[in-house]
Amino acid sequence: MMNKSGRYNRLYDQIRQLLLKCENPVARMATICADLHHNMPKFFWTGFYLLTDQRLIVSVYQGPVACMELRRDKGVCWASIQSGETIIVPDVNQFPDHIACDARSKSEIVVPLRNGALEIMGVLDVDSTETNAFDQTDAIWLEKITDLIYNVNNR
């Protein structure tokens, strides 16, 4: 069986080729969600929340129905927007302000999404039903993949 890095490496090349076919950012996000969700074994919910008029609203996703809007200044997604950093939460029950959209989610990773001018547009959020599902390997590859949305032509 291929290890996690090998799997991401293969998916990165595949996603890069797919994204070159259409410049629309939402189409690109949808393609990334579908590809990751159906090829990464522990991904239970995979999607984007986008900043719209200073609100964080759900966009394209794969997985069970999730919260449509995340209350400002609460939760992992807002924490990632505010810090500008990827956040790994090994156990969501230990994250004080975590917003539970589905009780089955046990761990989570959130990666900020930046446009070509490096402005934060939203986040990629992935949940797993296992605790401790995500580590630095996920952070590195999900950052690389998210970066393709606005920069694929330069990568």
Nearest residue (CB) to ligand SME, 33 versus 70: 70
- Closest distance of CB 133 from ligand SME, Å: 13
For residue 61, give the amino acid letter: Y
- For tokens 């992935």, what's the residue? 126
Q: How far apart are CA 53 and CA 38, in angstroms?
A: 32
Among 59, 108, 111, 142, binds ligand SME (CB under 6 A): 108
- Report phi then psi at 51, rounded to 5: -75, 125
List the x/- string, 47-66, binding to ligand SME by CB under 6 A: -------------------x
Q: How far apart are CA 87 and CA 106, in angstroms?
A: 14
Q: Sign of dihedral through CA atoms 104, 112, 11, 61?
A: positive
- The token pair that represents 142 in the structure block: 């999900």
Q: Is 27 in the site for ligand SME (CB under 6 A)?
A: no
Among 43, 45, 141, 150, binds ligand SME (CB under 6 A): 45
Q: Is 99 in the site for ligand SME (CB under 6 A)?
A: yes
CA 20 to chain CA centroid, Å, is 20
Nearest residue (CB) to ligand SME, 19 versus 77: 77
Binding site for ligand SME (CB under 6 A): 45, 66-67, 70, 75-77, 98-99, 101, 105, 108, 125, 127
